[in-house]
Structure 1
Amino acid sequence: MRARYLLLFLGLFTSSYIYCQENSNSVTVPKKKYHTKKMITLPKIDGIISDKAWDHLDWGEDFTEKVPDEGTPPTYQTKFKIGYDEKYLYIALRAFDDEPEKIEQRLSRRDGFAGDRINVIIDSYHDKRTAFVFTVTAAGVKGEELATQNGQSWDASWNPIWYTDAVVDDKGWTAEMKIPFSQLRFGKAEEQVWGLNINRMLFRKQERSLWQRIPNEVSGFISEAGELHGLKGLKSQKQLEIQPFTVFQYDTYEKEGNNPFRDGSDFGFNAGLDAKIGITNDLTLDLTVNPDFGQVEADPGAIALDGFQIFFNEQRPFFVENKNIFDFQFADGSDNVFYSRRIGRSPQGSANATSNEFVDTPNNTTILGAAKFSGKTRDGWSIGVLETVTSNEYAVIDANGSRREELVEPLTNYFVARAQKDFNERNSYIGGVFTSTNRNLDGKLNFLRKSAYTGGLDFRHEWHNRDYYIQSNLVASHVVGSKEAIQATQESLTHLFQRVDASHVEVDPNRTSLTGTGGRVFGGKRGGGNWRYWASVNWRSPELELNDIGFLRRTDEIRQSASVSYLWQVPTKTYRDARVELFQLSSFDFEGNYNRMEYSLQGNINWINNWWTELQLVHKPRIFINTFLRGGPRWRFSEENYMVLFFGSDQSKKVNFRIGYIKSGTEQNNFSFTRYVFGLNYQPFDSFNASLTTEYTEDPNKTQYVSEADYGSVKRYILGNIDQKTWSTTLRLNYSINPNLSIQYYGQPFISRGRYNNFNYVNNSIAKDLNERVVWYANNQIQQSSSGDYLVDEDANGVTDYQFSNPNFSFVQFRSNLVARWEYIPGSELFLVWAQGTTGNVDSDRSLLGGLNNQILENTLQNTFLIKATYRFL
């Protein structure tokens, strides 16, 4: 069957290639060219473009609408001028508007991207895949993005130093930009040719227009930009930026008895340094010593009953910037060779302490230093090298004033190297990645792997004006450690070599290494006409292991998926655009077991009034899960159907909302899932924005995994009927006094409660009928003891055969941040932070609101007050 899918996959691309060679009727748009000139005098960057410094420059004009009605004249035109001197690029922008009183001048902090705005898109590499994007709003707020993958990825973490301002007048609004060449990357040619496009958003109409027209059926974006000519004699601008910082932090919390480490308050001081050095005009070295991430927003609340790790997005600035260069996603979902959250993680060890001793364990591992060398050369090389060292971390144990230390995280070196090379007129690339993790165990913490190495290759080829593509990623891993560490790896939830019904894997307690592979082959059609399609095959071998510096949930899987969709791209009296997609997925393990089949039909439509609707219908006739019983036999879930429906109002309005409903059901009511989502955004005036998102989920399951026990020579896998309810609300408040001074609040209470009853055990784990799959305990077989544990007398002879703990839970988390941010000079900032939070378990007999009240309102919250100052030397 796997061979059949591979033949189908290859046949699809063969026919696609033949078809596209015979059908070459794509829309061709001539490239516009703007010829810049050297500045004679210099303008004042105040947003007013009446300076005589602009007079000798020509206007670039004649914009074309992109959204909603591509190829037509926009409601109002836009024009621009570009000049330069030895160090800077200067840009003047004029956005016409016959109703200037309706221009949305919404204030936000940097990168807010709210209201009327213009993006200047500069492909200074001229590689037709990468661009630096500078944005200014009608309120003078600036933002920047690094666009990669020909416009498929936009990274707002890039934070260059540049200057801009904007003003509204009786003709619309104007803006000026002054961009240092040191913030761009370009080659050494005597006369530069750069890619250029200007994008304007008329916010109240949700209308986008472009200087260089890009038809909707064209797959690329940066590759289709116009050109900037006339840049002559540019000298390489060696970038040198040094940014020291200092942090003062004060924590308060409820005192914990005689615990000397929790006496009610702590005070700390920290200092460090970040630096950016331009090695060449293409490549940059970033350094950080003892970085602090105190102002980073807290992770959202989450709980996973399946036992797998939860993926959280990276939010720390040092690792976020240029993350696209290091990315190597090789399979579906979040699996990646590099997951930077591993660096600086919570210590993995724990102290050996008695009940009369107190322990102080660090929350995170200290990053002693990190260096990142990255960039892209004019001849098509993308290069990224990351080197990081984290320190030994010790838990301090106090026994009546006598203290000792125990190692809980070893000194560790993390290394990542990534490279890609464009060729074939930038239509193809080939690349590779290498990572290593090396721990100084020194005879301690031997449950950790001593070293881990990963290598990967990737390739992509696009043809027929980039409408068609094929891509492949291959990964190999090798981990080394003690027998204890490698056995733990084999038995972890990611691998489960001890599965009782698996004949292709088994635990070998004498092994000291594992080597595995993974990869993906995929491709399809993403441009040209109204049809789009793709197909994919990916695999993760049983021994693949990436979790030392990557992210990998499970192995032992071969997955095939395919999609075909149709787009309506020309507006009508009813809608602006619409899309419908048919998706199919199947999966197998390396023993050949056919585990999953899934079909879905989904679509979205943007109505003419800017409201929108999304609908998805899914059918899963086959669901087998190798990991559900955590080392037990392969488990079958009943046939499932679910629906997803979301709709929302015009997001350009000062009050807008979105509502979502997700409903899942299965045969014999094995399990179900219902989620309600409501989001509200309110902009009462230009400088203030409030948003509220609340989610409520009911997730009952008759066969939720609980525990396992030995019943004589038989292993019992114990399940239960869980009534799980989860509720969270996220509130964000943003007040901007001016583009450089803002106050933000983020708060999220989260609670998830699960109550169990009707316990049962596995009988025939792969039976189609639920009543054959499990056996329910009779009332005389199971009782709850005074301590809360469940006692099982399976043979009803009056003697307890086995027992398990009460699995009921109610987990509460509250996180909030109040941050005042002042960028007092470009690139230098002052943060004032007040963070509040609590995490804990409450009585599961309480209601959801009662549990929140008990943990949040009735307890003393932990408070953190932080002052952080940075200064950027240029």
Structure 2
Amino acid sequence: MQAKSVSQNISIDGKLDESAWENAAVASDFITLEPDNGKAAPEAKKTEVKVLYDNDAIYIGARMFDDEPDKILKEISQRDNFGTADLFGVFINGFNDGQQDFMFYVSAADVQGDCIMTDANGEDYSWDAVWISKAVLTENGWIAEIKIPYSALRFSQENKQTWGINFFREIKRTRYKYTWNFVDRKIGTFTQQAGTLEGIENIKPPTRLFLMPYASYYLNAGEGQKTYGTIKGGMDIKYGINDAFTVDAILIPDFGQTKYDDQILNLGPFEQEFNENRAFFTEGTDLFNKGKMFYSRRIGGKPSEPKLNDNEEIIEQVQNVNLINALKLSGRTKNGLGVGILNAVTEKTFATIKDTITGETRRVVVEPLTNYNVLVMDQRFRKNSSVTFINTNVTRNGHFRDANVTGLVWDLNTKANTYNLSGNIKYSTLNAEEDKKGMYATLSFAETSGKYRYSFGSDFVTKDFNPNDLGINFYTNYYNFFNNVNYRILNPTKLFNSFRINLNNYIEFNKDSGKTQDASINANVNLTTVKNNYYGMGITVYPVEICDYYEPRTDGRYVIIPRKIDVWTSLSTNYNHKFALDLNPSITVADEPGRAAFALDVGPRYRFNDKLLLTYTFSFLKRNNNKGYIDSYDDDDNENTPETIVFANRDVITYANTLSGKYAINSAMTINLAVRQYWSSAENKNILKLDQDGTLDPYSQYTENKNSSFYSWNADLSYSWWFAPGSQLSALYRNNASNFERVIDKDFKRSVTNLLTNDALKHIFSISVKYFIDYNAVKNKVRKRA
């Protein structure tokens, strides 16, 4: 396709009435992507797209014809969450290397969405660009008009540009998706099947400098606590070093309005992994996610626990370490070399400890001044393959441990995208009281095209591999083998729009002892009917007893896990209907009397109109006769006696209720509700002792109460208004509370009521304004006034 140069001003109003649009080339003849892949789009629902450009931006004008315009779905939703609405999208690859698309969507309700797409990681909607669009309904369909500044894209400095491009349309009421350039679903890639955009020549993009100052006010209150207000301010900066590389910096960060974490009663040997909700660490971080070595929640996370002497307790400790500043540089050369650098610094953090006998207090450092670094160099070639070098480094001030992890990652595909060879090697060093070094290696091979596909591979992990200072990894000291065989339909049948069946096999061995740590055979089916209802079902068989080396939490010890079977089903009815339902029951039965688990998730949702949507989810889990670690201790009188490891035979019950709601005033202004109530308890029925051979025997000598009960409540009511491109005003009221105790109160209503009426309930009201300033826009205004 040819883009047309334009000198006149293009008003983004959804009318396409400027003369420049009349003589521009037309992209049409769209082809079905899903479900009837390869079939031409019907004439009654044809799509026509035109492209203009100037020194500031590229302009897209799209007409979506529809012979039933009154049936166009147009639910108004938040940015990046399209709900039930028709979509138009443009996918741009400024290097035309088939590796990464910048995707820009507009819904028929005039809602924007944008993401970065790679075949390896899929669509990353955490990336947000600043661009302008307008969608308008017409008597024969709808129109989308889009202006994408060059600052939102990445491309080379060549005088003549050649971009990869594709256009996308989804008709929501039929769930049919179309693309301008044919995307063959028999091939296991999307980004490498784009068309070509030519004609953009001799552009002189302006300086890419953007300032985003913000100001926030927080009012904190709690029952029996002092009410106080806090004012915060800071700035984000984006600067384009050239057309391909950008520096992002955050000065005096403020994350007070980020989504709360869904905490759980964690009875396992590993920490709970949380999602990243801070925009700086989610936007445009696809390079840093290569090799899965970077877990951004380590930066500004929970401080370490100080060592306590006898008769001491912590009386004051912060929940999270403060982030002083952070910056990241990312981009890619015209030869396909991507470079990413991320740096962050967190402040020195203290805890106050009190002697319960003398009353004396002391302050100790729980986290020193710390510097975090991530370096990524990713070389792409042949439009479908890459080799990546990654290094993460954590340097702590003073006599605290430092950590370094280096990795080499490869993703190699044949020219026809029919086979893939991928893997990585990671090497970690940890400088603490005792230096430790470890390695992680994985290799897999897969057929990635056609109806029948397969894959197989292996992992090898040494005992001392530890990337957890800036990454996250739980299992070490093992090697495994895995494979998958699957079948899918590529075109709809009389019954199904999509259908896929998988068979998976997995076996894992402890590296030192050779004992089986895991073994499973899984079969599952996932399908969508012609009425667009989703069904899934699966069964996993664990055919042999396995040795769990992690639950005992002592080096070299393991507990035997009996054979078991998991069965699950899943239903999700068509969201196009006002009422829809998600249903997910499952059951696990072990080869041990009374040891079983039952789970059920029920999620009804109702769309009252195009503005109001409510969704409720109830989750229930019960594990009967669950065996788990509760304590361990040494025999002080005999150094040769092995450590005593205490387990409990327990019943674990979990209830969770989640309510979310959205009321859209218009496409730029929404009110959102998110409420989560959670309660989980573990009631110990009898105490057990772990023997050296991994079996459990009754143990009456242990009498300490190790029952567990955890309650939590979170409620957010927020208002969001995008009052200008890239500029947002948001107001949030939040209340939350949590409580852990050893006494289990089985009166559910009383437990929740007590949680909401005691001193633990905290209230926070905040209002935040951020404003997007384009250096060039300011410069042009000053020139005009002069």
TM-score (norm: length of structure 1): 0.84
Counterpart selection for 2:326 from 370, 391, 398: 370
Q: Which residue of 2 aligns with 1:44?
A: 11
Residues 670 and 307 from structure 1, CA distance in 2 versus in 1: closer, same or farther, beyond 3 angstroms? Answer: farther
Residues 517 and 352 from structure 1, CA distance in 2 versus in 1: closer, same or farther, beyond 3 angstroms? Answer: closer
- Per-residue CA deviation, residues 373-408 of structure 1 (Å, 9 max, x unaligned), is 012222101111011111111235799999864322
Q: Which residue of 2 aligns with 1:198?
A: 167
Q: Secondary structure of 1:121's partner?
A: strand
- Per-residue CA deviation, residues 588-613 of structure 1 (Å, 9 max, x unaligned), is 12212232221001111111110111
Question: Does residue 384 of the first structure (1) align with residue 340 of the second (2)?
Answer: yes
- Per-residue CA deviation, residues 818-838 of structure 1 (Å, 9 max, x unaligned), is 121111111111111111100
Q: Which residue of 1 aligns with 2:710?
A: 811
Q: Which residue of 2 aligns with 1:480?
A: 431
Provide the C-alpha distance between the structure 2 equivalents of 1:870 and 1:397, rounded to a whole number of angstroms: 39
Structure 1 residue identity aligned to 2:95: Y
Q: Which residue of 1 aligns with 2:728?
A: 829
Q: Secondary structure of 2:273's partner?
A: coil
| Residue pair 2:269, 2:551 contacting (<8 A) in 1 also | no
Identity percentage over the alignment?
Answer: 26
- Per-residue CA deviation, residues 307-341 of structure 1 (Å, 9 max, x unaligned), is 21111111110010122101133xxxxxx321110
* Residues 594-673 of structure 1: pairs in structure 2 closer than 5 A: 594-622=516-544, 623-631=546-554, 633-669=557-593, 671-673=595-597
Q: Which residue of 2 aligns with 1:866?
A: 766
- Per-residue CA deviation, residues 720-772 of structure 1 (Å, 9 max, x unaligned), is 22111001122111111112211111111111011111323234634xxxxxx
Q: Which residue of 1 aligns with 2:105?
A: 135
Provide the C-alpha distance between the structure 2 equivalents of 1:565 and 1:185, rounded to a whole number of angstroms: 37
Structure 2 residue identity aligned to 1:63: F
| Residue pair 1:252, 1:862 contacting (<8 A) in 2 also | yes
Q: Which residue of 2 aligns with 1:795?
A: none
Q: Secondary structure of 1:430's partner?
A: strand
Residues 321 and 308 from structure 1, CA distance in 2 versus in 1: closer, same or farther, beyond 3 angstroms? Answer: same
Provide the C-alpha distance between the structure 2 equivalents of 1:167 and 1:725, rounded to a whole number of angstroms: 51
Provide the C-alpha distance between the structure 2 equivalents of 1:303 and 1:378, rounded to a whole number of angstroms: 49
| Residue pair 1:236, 1:280 contacting (<8 A) in 2 also | no
Q: Secondary structure of 2:70's partner?
A: helix
Q: Secondary structure of 1:328's partner?
A: helix
Structure 1 residue identity aligned to 2:593: N
Provide the C-alpha distance between the structure 2 equivalents of 1:663 and 1:43, rounded to a whole number of angstroms: 59
Question: Does residue 560 of the first structure (1) align with residue 481 of the second (2)?
Answer: yes
Structure 2 residue identity aligned to 1:141: V
Structure 2 residue identity aligned to 1:125: F
Question: Does residue 462 of the first structure (1) align with residue 440 of the second (2)?
Answer: no
Provide the C-alpha distance between the structure 1 equivalents of 2:739 and 2:13, rounded to a whole number of angstroms: 52
Residues 860 and 337 from structure 1, CA distance in 2 versus in 1: closer, same or farther, beyond 3 angstroms? Answer: closer
Q: Which residue of 2 aligns with 1:88?
A: 57
Counterpart selection for 1:149 from 114, 119, 127: 119
Structure 2 residue identity aligned to 1:519: A
- Alpha-carbon distance, 1:46 to partner: 0.9
Question: Does residue 728 of the first structure (1) align with residue 656 of the second (2)?
Answer: yes
* Residues 528-547 of structure 1: pairs in structure 2 closer than 5 A: 529-547=450-468
Provide the C-alpha distance between the structure 1 equivalents of 2:746 and 2:3, rounded to a whole number of angstroms: 69
Provide the C-alpha distance between the structure 2 equivalents of 1:524 and 1:357, rounded to a whole number of angstroms: 55
| Residue pair 2:29, 2:41 contacting (<8 A) in 1 also | no
| Residue pair 2:630, 2:646 contacting (<8 A) in 1 also | yes
- Per-residue CA deviation, residues 338-381 of structure 1 (Å, 9 max, x unaligned), is 11100001221448699899833222111111110012222101
- Per-residue CA deviation, residues 97-150 of structure 1 (Å, 9 max, x unaligned), is 111111111111211223111111111121111111111111111111111236
Question: Does residue 222 of the first structure (1) align with residue 144 of the second (2)?
Answer: no
- Alpha-carbon distance, 1:433 to partner: 0.6
Structure 1 residue identity aligned to 2:536: E
Q: Which residue of 2 aligns with 1:417?
A: 375
Provide the C-alpha distance between the structure 2 equivalents of 1:525 and 1:296, rounded to a whole number of angstroms: 41
| Residue pair 1:649, 1:658 contacting (<8 A) in 2 also | yes
Q: Secondary structure of 1:737's partner?
A: strand
| Residue pair 1:691, 1:731 contacting (<8 A) in 2 also | yes
Residues 557 and 848 from structure 1, CA distance in 2 versus in 1: closer, same or farther, beyond 3 angstroms? Answer: farther
Structure 2: runs of 5 or more not aligned: 775-786
- Alpha-carbon distance, 1:248 to partner: 1.3
Counterpart selection for 1:433 from 390, 394, 401: 390
Question: Does residue 452 of the first structure (1) align with residue 415 of the second (2)?
Answer: no
Q: Secondary structure of 1:699's partner?
A: strand
TM-score (norm: length of structure 2): 0.93
Cα RMSD (Å): 2.2
Provide the C-alpha distance between the structure 2 equivalents of 1:356 and 1:519, rounded to a whole number of angstroms: 44
Residues 357 and 841 from structure 1, CA distance in 2 versus in 1: closer, same or farther, beyond 3 angstroms? Answer: closer
Q: Secondary structure of 2:286's partner?
A: helix
- Alpha-carbon distance, 1:576 to partner: 0.8
| Residue pair 1:675, 1:697 contacting (<8 A) in 2 also | yes
Question: Does residue 518 of the first structure (1) align with residue 474 of the second (2)?
Answer: no
Structure 1 residue identity aligned to 2:736: G
Q: Which residue of 1 aligns with 2:472?
A: 551
Provide the C-alpha distance between the structure 1 equivalents of 2:115 and 2:435, rounded to a whole number of angstroms: 42
- Per-residue CA deviation, residues 29-71 of structure 1 (Å, 9 max, x unaligned), is xxxxx11111253332111223333111122111111111112
| Residue pair 1:127, 1:378 contacting (<8 A) in 2 also | no
Counterpart selection for 2:282 from 304, 307, 320: 320
More divergent stretch after superposition (838-847 vs 608-617): 838-847
Q: Which residue of 2 aligns with 1:274?
A: 236
Counterpart selection for 2:22 from 27, 34, 55: 55
- Per-residue CA deviation, residues 819-873 of structure 1 (Å, 9 max, x unaligned), is 2111111111111111110010253032344322321256662001111111121
Structure 2 residue identity aligned to 1:283: F
| Residue pair 2:265, 2:709 contacting (<8 A) in 1 also | no
| Residue pair 1:122, 1:133 contacting (<8 A) in 2 also | yes
Counterpart selection for 1:360 from 316, 325, 346: 316
- Alpha-carbon distance, 1:193 to partner: 1.1
Question: Does residue 119 of the first structure (1) align with residue 47 of the second (2)?
Answer: no
Q: Which residue of 1 aligns with 2:751?
A: 851
Q: Which residue of 2 aligns with 1:406?
A: 364
Counterpart selection for 1:760 from 688, 694, 718: 688
Q: Secondary structure of 2:655's partner?
A: strand
- Per-residue CA deviation, residues 522-561 of structure 1 (Å, 9 max, x unaligned), is 120111x201111121122111111111101121111211
Provide the C-alpha distance between the structure 1 equivalents of 2:480 and 2:100, rounded to a whole number of angstroms: 31
Provide the C-alpha distance between the structure 1 equivalents of 2:28 and 2:456, rounded to a whole number of angstroms: 41
Counterpart selection for 2:490 from 569, 572, 576: 569
Q: Which residue of 1 aligns with 2:79?
A: 110
- Alpha-carbon distance, 1:629 to partner: 1.7
Provide the C-alpha distance between the structure 1 equivalents of 2:414 and 2:313, rounded to a whole number of angstroms: 67
- Alpha-carbon distance, 1:670 to partner: 6.4
